[in-house]
Amino acid sequence: MRVSVIGAGIAGLACALELAERGVAVEVLERAPASGPTGCSWFAGGMLAPWCERESCGALIARLGEESLPWWRAHFPATVRNGTLVLAHGRDRPELAQFARGTERFAALDAAAIAALEPDLAGRFAAGLYFADEAHLDPRAALAALAARLRELGVPVHYGIDADLEGLGGRTVVDCSGLAARRTLPELRGVRGEMVLLRQREVRLARPVRVLHPRLPLYVVPRGADLYMVGATMLESDSEARVSARALLELLSAAYALHPAFGDAEVVEAGSGVRPAFPDNLPRLTWCGQTLHVNGLYRHGFLVAPALARRAAEALLEGRHFPEVMHEDTRQRRLA
């Protein structure tokens, strides 16, 4: 028995690894010609922020995210656990209070505590929230590490294959093709996200910093080697067009407002990805015949993929049902 996993984004690689580590013969099929900018995962910020995300996405995401943190430390030791700092400029202070009401597991900071955590932000913000247990990673390095681990386990990752469910007829398939699965999951929609990658040697940030704003919340995630990922727009659109001038203006202005030295940063890259999302913005495991779809990871792919992959493996191998992510009772399904 062989399981074919469609898609080498974070969902596909995590599912393939969970199955391979349980001794299942797996292959990964990816339509992009080579590893690299294959899908939405390439453009992610890499924040593993279950409690911050709780504010906008609720308890399920927080639970799946918290469950996933140890998996990341075990499978990608370069995961950095330095917490998240959440800030707001003076006139946006009410946003901070509202954010605090919607979440948990943070400490409230004053200006001195902010300066102690991030010396380069000293004197710039009067109040903030610190989520000490959160983490971040470089998504591109993490994808490469998971693919390398799959190779070690003898799992082939085939690039340049536009997998077709009908063509795979008879095989057990885990479909992690992101937005491309809309053909079978018509409720899926795209939420476009634009980002820029900056290089600035004069700013040192040790952790992701979120700056709240009523219309344009922004985050800056350190990537090492003086690189900072600045993200991200959230547009109800599945356009794969290049980054718009408006997005660049908004992202760069917000980075400049966080620290003026970002005005002199080198723009290394501007990119965009389309997040696959269901109407409730929550992930789902959906059976269609012999195919298990793992999709709708929205803005939490890295955060929740490990927890979803574990559920996918247990659904396939043990016929388990997980009502919080599986909308129909599928206890009878399992890998034959």
**Which stretches of the chain bind ligand FAD, using CB under 6 A?**
6-12, 29-32, 38-41, 43-47, 161-163, 176-178, 180, 193, 195, 231-232, 273, 275-276, 297-303
Q: Tell me how far, at minimum, the Cβ of 287 lies from ligand FAD, in Å.
A: 17
Is 195 within 8 Å of 271 (Cβ atoms)?
yes
CB of 211 or CB of 232, closer to ligand FAD: 232
Tell me whether residue 12 or residue 128 sits nearer to ligand FAD (CB atom): 12
- The backbone torsions φ and ψ at residue 111, rounded to the nearest 5 degrees and listed phi first, read -60, -40
Residue nearest to ligand FAD (CB): 9
Q: Vertex 108, ends 300 and 67: CA angle to 5°?
A: 30
Prior bond of 232 cis (ω within 30°): yes
Residues 6+ apart with CB under 8 A from 301: 9, 10, 11, 40, 41, 44, 275
Tokens of 151: 């190779």
* Nearest-angstrom CA–CA distance, 51 and 293: 26
Task: Output the smallest distance, CB 68 to ligand FAD, in A.
Answer: 9
Smallest distance from ligand FAD to CB 37, Å: 9
Total Cβ atoms within 10 A of residue 311: 24
Taking phi over 0 as left and psi of -120 to 50 as alpha, with beta for the rest, 289 belongs to left
Residues 6 or more apart whose Cβ sits within 8 Å of residue 224? 138
Pick 259 or 284: Cβ nearer ligand FAD: 284
Which is nearer to ligand FAD, 10 or 17 (by Cβ)?
Answer: 10
Tokens representing residue 298 in the block: 């929205």
How many C-beta atoms lie closer than 10 Å to residue 273's C-beta?
25
Least separation in angstroms between residue 311's CB and ligand FAD is 14
- Cβ closest to ligand FAD, residue 121 vs residue 277: 277
Beta-strand relationship, 107-110 and 84-88: unpaired
C-beta of 175: minimal distance to ligand FAD in Å?
A: 8
- Nearest distance from C-beta of residue 11 to ligand FAD, angstroms: 3
Smallest distance, ligand FAD to C-beta of residue 112, A: 29
Complex with ligand FAD: residue 31 or 73, whichever CB lies closer: 31
Cβ proximity to ligand FAD: between 128 and 273 the closer is 273
- Residue 96 or 179: the one with the smaller Cβ distance to ligand FAD is 179
CB of 10 vs ligand FAD, minimal distance in Å = 5
When computed from its CA atoms, the radius of gyration of the chain, rounded to whole angstroms, is 20
